[in-house]
Amino acid sequence: MATARSKAKQPIAKTVSKAKVGGNKARGKKTATKSATKTRKSATSAQPAPKGKERKATPAKQREAMAEKSTSTKPANGTHVKSSAADPSKKRSSSTPSRGAVEAARKHLRALVEIVEQANDRDAEQILGEGQLEALLKAVLPQRRRSSKTTYDYLASQKRRASLMAQVRHAINGAYSFSTGLDGLVISPTRVQWFYDGLTFIEGTEPFSGVVGLYRNGELRYGLDVKDATANGSLGPSEADFVSLPAAKKSFAAAAKPPRAALLELEQLRENGADQRDPWLALLEHTPWFLGAQHCRLVRLTNQDANMPELFAERVEDGAHDVLLLGQPSASVFGKSGRMQRSFQDTLYQAEQTLSFVQRQAEYLEREYTLSIRRPRVFVIAGRGLSPSERDQLRQYADARHAEVRVLSYDDLAHLAQRTAEFFQQRI
C-alpha cells in the first residue's frame, strides 16, 4: 500500500511544482489542486484582454495611476505635461547644473588646486597662463550684456558672482601685497616678468600701485617711467630704464639746483604756459634727474653735422649716453579728429633715424666727442595738454614701433620730475 500511494502522488507533486506562484509548498492532494487552479487563472489573466474590454486595475496599479495624475496637468491642447509642484528640483532652469554636477565641478577644482600647488614655478605658469586664468575669472563674472538697462541692473542680476570677484580681489590684496619694511610701503608682483634673471615688482602705499622696480643679483633698482603692462601691451622696458639708489643719489648730487627750488621753477614754467623749448631745456640742463634720476649731466653739441643730434644725456649707471629730441611745447600731437598729427609722426620717424645713426656712428662719436654709445635710447619730448587716453595711445604707438624710443609730453616731463623727487628723497 505504501508503494502504491507513493506512485499515486507523483503526478500531483509534479503539478504542484509547476503551480508554485508565490505560495507555500503544497501539502497534500487538496492543496495541490488549489495551486493548479490558481496557475490556470493567472495564465488566463496574463493574456491580452479582448478588444473593447479593459482589465480591471489592481489596487497597486490604481495607486500608481492616482499618484501620476496628482503630479501632472493637461493643458487645453491635450499635451500631457508633468507638473513640478511635487518635485522641487524641477523648478530650476534646465541650464542650472544639478547637485551632482556641482559636486563634480568642486571635485575638479580641488584636483586643479592640488595640481597647481605641486607644480613648479614654470609649470604653474603654463597651466594657468596664456589667458587660462583670465578665462576662468571671466566665467565667474561674464561681461555685461547690452540687454542690461544699467550697470546696477547688471550687477543686481549677477550679485552672487560679483561678490565672488570681490572676494578674489580681497584675497589677492590681503595675501599678495608684501611689506617692504618701510612705513606704509608694500610690494606687489607685476603682470609681466620682463627679465628672465630678475624680478619686476610694484612698490607703493597701495597694493599693485606705485613705482615699478627690478630686483636682480641682490640689488634693487627702480624705473620711474616704467609702466606695468600686459604681455601684448608693451615691448617692455630695457635694463637702462631702472636706476639703483646709489646711482639716483649721484644724479641728484650732480644737479645745480636743490630739488625743491628746481620743482618750484618747473611749476612756474607750467603756470606761465611756456610754449618755447629754451626755458625747459635750460632747466633740464641744471637738473638732469628730471628724467627719473637716470642721468647725471646733459651734453650739448654745437656746429655738429646736420644728421647729428644736438643733445645727449649721460647715464649714471654705466656712463653711456642717450639722445634727447626736444620739440616745441606748442607742437600739436593729436588733431581734432583724435588722430595723431602727421608732423608728429615725422618727429617719431626722425627719432628712429637718429637712433640708427648713433648706433652706426658709435666709434666716431666716441673718438670725436667722447660720447659712449651702448644700448642708447631716444627721449622725444614735445607737446602739452594731452589727455590720459592720448598719452596711452602715444606710448603704445611708440612701443609698437621701437622699444628704445621714449615719448613724453612736457606735462609728462613735469609729472615725472615730481614723482622722481618724491620717491627718491625719502630713500637716499
Q: Is the residue at 304 inside a domain?
A: yes
Number of separate domains in the chain = 3
198/230 same-domain check: yes
Given a contact cutoff of 8 angstroms between Cβ atoms, the answer to whether 83 and 73 are in contact is yes
pLDDT tens-digit series, residues 91-109: 444 566 688 888 999 999 9
**Same domain membership, residue 408 and residue 277:** yes
pLDDT at 62: 55
d(Cα 141, Cα 160) in Å, to the nearest integer? 9
Please tell me the predicted confidence (pLDDT) of residue 353. 92
Residue with the bigger pLDDT between 410 and 55: it is: 410
Whether 227 and 370 map to the same domain: the answer is: no
Mind listing the pLDDT tens digit for each residue in 254-307?
A: 999 899 999 999 999 888 867 888 999 999 999 999 999 999 999 998 866 777
pLDDT(123) > 90? yes
Q: How confident is the model at residue 314 (pLDDT cuts 50, 70, 90)?
A: very high
Measured distance CA(121)–CA(336) in Å, rounded? 49
In the predicted model, is pLDDT for residue 54 greater than 80? no
Tell me the pLDDT band of 220, cut-offs 50, 70 and 90: very high
Residue 153 CA: distances (Å) to CA of 137, 138, 163, 176? 20, 18, 15, 32
Q: Where are the alpha helices (DSSP H) in 47-142?
A: 59-70, 99-118, 121-128, 132-140
State residue 172's pLDDT score: 87
pLDDT over 80 at 149, yes or no: no
pLDDT of residue 41: 45
Mean pLDDT (whole number) for 172-188: 83
Mean pLDDT of the chain: 79
The residue range of the domain holding 170 is 146-175
Given a contact cutoff of 8 angstroms between Cβ atoms, the answer to whether 227 and 212 are in contact is yes
The percent of residues in the chain predicted with pLDDT above 70, rounded, is 74
In a domain, 58, yes or no: no
Span 157-165, average pLDDT: 91
pLDDT of 114 above 90: yes
Q: Are 326 and 382 in contact (CB under 8 A)?
A: yes
Judge whether residue 64 has pLDDT over 70: no
Same domain, 269 and 394: yes
Identify the top-confidence range among 61-70, 203-212, 224-233: 203-212
Of 71-85, 274-288, 321-335, 407-421, the poorest mean pLDDT is in 71-85
Inform me whether the pLDDT recorded for 321 exceeds 80. Answer: yes
Report pLDDT for 290. 95
For residue 351, pLDDT beyond 50: yes
- In the listed set 129, 158, 175, which residue is the last one of a domain according to the structure? 175
Instruction: Please compute the mean of the pLDDT values over residues 137-142 and round it to a whole number.
Output: 90
Interval 373-398: pLDDT, tens: 999 999 999 998 888 888 888 877 87
Instruction: List the one residue out of 247, 208, 246 whose CA is nearest residue 227.
Output: 208
Q: Within a domain: residue 72?
A: no
| 220 belongs to a structural domain | yes
Answer yes or no: do 309 and 407 share one domain.
yes
Does the residue 123 lie in any domain? no
What value does the mean pLDDT take over residues 184-192? 88
CA distance 348 to 393: 14
Q: What pLDDT is attached to residue 59?
A: 54
Looking at the domain assignment, is residue 180 inside a domain?
yes
Residues 355 and 208 in one domain: no
Amino acid at 70: S
Residue 86 resides in a domain: no
Place of cell 501632472: 72
Question: Which amino acid, 340?
Answer: M
Are 287 and 305 in the same domain?
Answer: yes
> Do 412 and 269 lie in a common domain?
yes
According to the model, what pLDDT value does residue 252 have?
96
- pLDDT at 61 (0 to 100): 53
pLDDT at 235: 54
